[in-house]
Structure 1
């Protein structure tokens, strides 16, 4: 019997990729929850239309045929947040909205709730030779990470108190065709041949291609070993910023004009101009250990880094 999946966040980068994969597989019946103002952005998919996503959203009557919820909707991490109380703003959507949906889902007899969390629950970076694991004590440092941690805590309690299974997935930086923000800016710089002062950065960072992330999410719909577990996900190949830029330039068929300026010097300049957070992402390390994901689920990232970067570059060049 075909299962019905309710997907939230289908208008986003990750949610849109999940929707495409589920549609292409033709294995599941899919419906999406979208805010009223975004109703025309998704075509030919059954929709649940809601005015807002928070602790007051009414979901009654929408779960009659739903078996599994994939919850990717969130107030995402933003640079230069203009909210006077960012933590309250994140909690409204990421904690209250998530737990409100999950409680009503559990009451309706939904079998499984898959929550797309964030590596920011673990923290902002790792020391040399160290990698985050799924079972580390959480150490979020910003309002977004705190809100995701609190949502996870509430979901685990709900799973302990009800029959609904919860699966938590914490991605690292996600990239792929259509990626935005800093990754898109990086491709633009490389495509224009702009010299970049990142030729001597010896950090180590885990990334995850959108296809690899979606593959794990879909695997968790039915896998019995996924129930009430937390998983980290990456491509399984860690890169320095210098190597990433070199690989991306090659995928774009452009020379990598990388100037070898020491990372300590870049971090010092960034601190002076108020860009310490950006320098951490460019110069610091953030590695994850996905051995639990591999062993418990028998899962392996289906796409290599080079293949995923090539697909990302191809989309960029076709749409720039």
Structure 2
């Protein structure tokens, strides 16, 4: 890799932190990390800058000076039970207005490439059995989060066409790895406690992406000439059912998988009655992506297998969490 300076937004988050750690291992690379929490600790050599709330009025002049590549990870993330009166407006404020403000200032400052971490929700909420989303499919977002990400992508494409700054859009599926939070962390806790789970007969297919694989793809997209102005989907290239995932994860944790074969139709019906349709879709629906474009254009294949990544995730959990 050439000697370059990266600006990474969202550096205190799960993805941003992993990306910064990897970039700092590359000789001649330097990193600027704007953060709201000035107490965030980064590897030696990272230049952190305090920023106010991320919005469309931020002045990035100081942070962007001398930067070659921006990797924009910061976002208002998907919220299961959003309490905002106008969720779409709230998502637009951060995911569209703030993103395009940063991109415009980056282009004016001569930034070579802008990498936007979008979401598979731009493609849609799920796939039919034995089908997969492709990077160049017509977008079909459903919820406010996915709509806001698509609108940001559209604004970035227009900006790239009028300024010459190269744009790369990456849409990850569910990201996991050492230190993962939310539902993935809950699954590991359930399995370690030996709680019987009613997921022994789920035959869906889900794509996942390990944090190490996503970081590797981002680094590849930062330098590969063929990545310019392209959209890529990110996954491990190995799809599993919810049942298979839980069994693999239990094995990685050294615990038995106590999975009860409750019919999916029954669990889906109960979830719908309880107003948990979105959760039901995640557990029982399919969402597969085709990453063949990544190999075709970039020569990229995921460096870490699903089983390897699950073992790393489980070991971190066992080392750092109490039940």
TM-score after normalising by structure 2: 0.97
**SS of residue matched to 1:17:** helix
Aligned to 1:158: 159
Deviation at 1:47, TM superposition (A): 1.8
User: SS at the partner of 1:303?
Assistant: coil
Aligned residue number for residue 221 of structure 2: 220
Residue 100 (structure 1) aligns with: 101
2:39 is the alignment partner of 1:40: yes
CA deviation map 1:48-93 (0-9, x unaligned): 2211211111112332211110000001111211111111111000
For the 8 Å contact 2:3–2:27, the answer to whether it is kept is no
- Paired with 2:24 and 2:61, the residues of 1 have a C-alpha distance of 25
Give the distance between the partners of 2:120 and 2:41, measured in 1 at CA.
Answer: 28
Moved more, 74-83 or 142-151: 74-83
- Paired residues, number: 318
Q: Aligned runs of 1:115-130 on 2, under 5 Å?
A: 115-130=116-131
Q: What's 2:212 paired with? A: 211
Question: 1:200 matched to which residue of 2?
Answer: 201
Alignment map for 1:1-320 (pairs within 5 Å) = 2-35=3-36, 38-43=37-42, 44=44, 45-320=46-321
- Using the size of structure 1 for normalisation, the TM-score is 0.98
Q: CA deviation at 1:191?
A: 0.5
Q: Distance in 2 between matches of 1:77 and 1:95?
A: 14
Which stretches of structure 1, 4 residues or more, deviate above 3 A after TM superposition?
A: none
User: Aligned with 1:41: secondary structure?
Assistant: coil
What displacement does 1:39 show?
1.1
- Three-state SS of the structure 1 residue aligned to 2:146 is helix
Partners in 2 of 1:164 and 1:33 — Cα distance? 21
The whole-number CA distance in structure 2 between the counterparts of 1:159 and 1:24 is 30
Gapped regions of structure 1 (runs ≥ 5): none
How far apart in 1 are the matches of 2:65 and 2:90? 31
**RMSD over equivalenced CA pairs, Å:** 0.9
| Cα shift readout 1:178-214 (whole Å, capped 9, x = no counterpart) | 0010111111100100000000000000000000000
